[in-house]
Amino acid sequence: MITQQRSLSGSSQSPRSPSSQPFLSVSVTDPAKMGNGVQAYISYKVITKTNLPEYQGPEKIVIRRYSDFVWLHDRVFEKYKGIFIPPLPEKSTVEKFRFSAEFIEMRRQALDIFVNRIASHHELQQSEDLRTFLQADEQTMERARSQETGIFKKKPADLMQIFKDVQSKVSDMVLGKEKPVEESNPEYEKLKHYIFELEDHLAEAQKHAYRLVKRHRELGQSLSDFGNAVKLLGACEGNALGKAFSELGVKSEILSIKLQKEANHLLMNFEEPLKDYFRAVQSIKATIGERASAFRQQCELAETIKLKEIDLNKLRLTRSERMADVEDEYEELKADGEEATRRFETIVRLMNEEIVRFQEQKTLDMGLAFHEFAKGQARLANAIADGWRSLLPKLEACSSSQH
């Protein structure tokens, strides 16, 4: 089943009211440096425009920082297993201190895309956490954010599950069952294989794209230096020849600027999308992990249930007083088992839908990226050709004046 194309600003489900389509549009803007030294960070303005009833009013502006986005990502990842959560731009440990304008702009763009993807995903957009993120005041946000650390974010049931996981792992090891349980679904295997290989390919492509940006910068610099040297050389000569050299030098410097511009364009419109693609694939890997662990839980519970059943039957035979307790446990386990199965199956279903959506989206994204790439290169090549071409008559003039 192919999901309908979602536009960036809203769902295409049947309109709630005849007069207005429901929409939710978000933008991340105005990065501003806050704080000093090691504690410095960048804050962003997040502007929400919507007519959805769940939101307070048509427009809301809040201030958020990177770790708030991380919070949103993690919450949504926990709650919506099976869905490919939109990726975040990298958490940088080093560049943070440098905070170049380029870095800030790249991050802003990526964060904007991130939030919008959540807001336009038909399931994710209904998340309460999203609403909190988009609307809560700064203090509430901060509180929510600090609760995210470690164990505290887990509910008691989750905690139990963690213990059980550990327990079963230990017993597995003790019993010699070390191999993790995996699905034996050939189609799914293929998908996993595809994702893992895709990641490698993308890593390489992205690496070269990054280098290409660098080369543009280097060439630009080199051309500028060359132009300078030529101008100095021209200064040694007199008259017409000197002028010719200086024209050459000036033109070189002009073209070098174009190269730098193109380098930036390439960075934002080609390398970034490739990086984004790469991150998206990594996010899929995370979901694959979730599916695997859901499957494991299901299997383990099934095992445990079987064992419990054996236990119960033994007790039935001996008519022991413990039977009632064990019966209760058994029922509980069965409920858990059903829950686990349900969870797993949800993930499987969602993933199937997601993969289709993912592929379509990526085709669009990459199509645009390559388009920009080609356009940029053509533009650059033309500019350079025009530049040199326009130099020729000037050089002509210089040399003819020598006669």
Partner 1 sequence: MMGSENRGFEEAHLYASREEMESLVLDDSLTGKSYSDYRSAMSTLSETHHPLSPPIIATPTDTDPLLSPPPPPYSNVSNPNSPSNSYIEPPSYGDVNFSPLDADNGVGVNSIESPIEDLEKSMVLSRSSSSSSEYLKIMVSNPQKELGASNSIVPGGNTYFTYLITTRTNLPEFGGSEFSVRRRFKDVVTLSDRLSEAYRGFFIPPRPDKSVVESQVMQKQDFVEQRRVALEKYLQRLVAHPVIKKSDELRVFLQVQGKLPLPTTTDVASRMLDGAAKLPKQLFGDSVSAIGPQDVVQPAKGGRDLLRIFKELKQSMANDWGASKPPVEEEDKEFLEKKEKLHDLEQQLNNASQQAESLVKAQQDMGETMGELGLALIKLAKFENQEALLNTQRIRAADIKNAATAAVKASRFYRELNAQTVKHLDTLHEYLGLMLAIHTAFSDRSSALLTVQTLLSELSSLHLRGEKLEAASSKIFGGDKSRVHKIEELKETIRVTEGC
C-beta atoms surrounding 385 within 10 Å: 10
CA angle 18, 23, 25 (to 5 degrees): 160
Looking at beta carbons only, is 133 or 245 nearer to partner 1? 245
C-beta atoms surrounding 263 within 10 Å: 21
> Rounded distance, CA 195 to CA 280, Å?
10
Looking at beta carbons only, is 70 or 203 nearer to partner 1? 203
Q: Which of residues 371-400 bind partner 1 (CB under 8 A)?
A: 371, 373-375, 377-379, 381-382, 385-386, 388-390, 392-393, 395-396, 398-400
C-alpha Rg value of the chain to the nearest Å: 30
Three-state DSSP at 2 gives coil
Select from 218, 219, 234 the least CA-distant residue to 384. 219
Choosing from 35, 57, 58, 367, the residue that interacts with partner 1 (CB under 8 A) is 367
Q: Which of residues 220-259 bind partner 1 (CB under 8 A)?
A: 221-223, 225-226, 228-230, 232-233, 235-237, 241, 244
Q: C-beta of 89: minimal distance to partner 1 in Å?
A: 22
Question: By the 8 A CB rule, do 141 and 133 touch?
Answer: yes
Q: Does 143 bind partner 1 (CB under 8 A)?
A: no
Q: C-beta of 403: minimal distance to partner 1 in Å?
A: 7
Q: Which of residues 187-216 bind partner 1 (CB under 8 A)?
A: 190, 194, 197-198, 201-202, 204-205, 207-209, 211-212, 214-216
Q: C-beta of 36: minimal distance to partner 1 in Å?
A: 39
CA distances from 399 to 142, 246, 326 (A): 71, 13, 104
Looking at beta carbons only, is 264 or 293 nearer to partner 1? 264
Question: By the 8 A CB rule, do 301 and 333 touch?
Answer: yes
Looking at beta carbons only, is 199 or 327 nearer to partner 1? 199
Q: What is the DSSP string of 159-202?
A: HHHHHHHHHHHHHHHHHT--SPP----HHHHHHHHHHHHHHHHH
Q: C-beta of 195: minimal distance to partner 1 in Å?
A: 10
Q: Does 366 bind partner 1 (CB under 8 A)?
A: yes
Question: By the 8 A CB rule, do 29 and 44 touch?
Answer: yes
Residues that bind partner 1 (CB under 8 A): 190, 194, 197-198, 201-202, 204-205, 207-209, 211-212, 214-216, 218-219, 221-223, 225-226, 228-230, 232-233, 235-237, 241, 244, 356, 359-360, 362-363, 366-367, 370-371, 373-375, 377-379, 381-382, 385-386, 388-390, 392-393, 395-396, 398-400, 402-403
